[in-house]
Amino acid sequence: MKSYVTFCALLFLITSIGFGQTSFKENCFLKKENSIIESTADSGHHYTLLEAVKAANLDKILNEDGPFTVFAPSDLAFKKLSQVDLKELLLPENKKELFSLLTYHIVAGNITASKILKALCNGNGKASFTTVQGDKIFASMDGLDIVLMDRAGNRAKITNADANQSNGVIHEIDSVILPNILSAANLP
């Protein structure tokens, strides 16, 4: 227990200096006065996510409501997606599955990286967050990186953290995580 308390103290020290994830603050194209959807459109590497958000009719919600925390897969993350044929998901008849996939990457509230780290410390190195889709995502540390995991064991590392927006915060992730509804047996 003592070593874990030391670990948590070290994590908080690291977050005050900087940690494994790159901060979105380094990217001048993201402005705090923008909404989540505006910054996603302006980022230059979330075109696939933006297309999917529009196809699922989530763009109005992510433009106005909130606060939300969005774990935003980059275009490269979508290219790594092997289990789900994104073209299939973008078809109108698969809108329910696409909506489920996207809302699995959204948590209600403004959850910064430091809040995730605090939850990890309080949970002895593990934390979970309930998505707006209703399923849980799990967080842990891998070195200095915050890693998210779905129930099937798919992992996504937060590569850019804490893009504060007018209606929440964006964390870029390097892989797509899948809700239970999109397990290998239920894919469109």
Burial 139-174 (b: 16+ CB within 10 A, else e): bebeeeebbbbbeeeeebbbbbbbbbbbbbbbbbbb
CATH C-level class of 2-186: mainly beta
Out of 95-104, 127-136, 176-185, pick the least confident: 176-185
Dist CA 111 CA 120 (whole Å): 13
Helix, strand or coil, per DSSP, at residue 125: coil
**pTM exceeding 0.85:** no
Q: Residues 34-69: pLDDT tens digits?
A: 899 999 999 889 999 999 999 999 999 999 888 999
Helix, strand or coil, per DSSP, at residue 132: coil
Dist CA 146 CA 37 (whole Å): 23
Contact between residue 132 and residue 140 where contact means Cβ atoms under 8 Å apart? no
Helix, strand or coil, per DSSP, at residue 25: helix
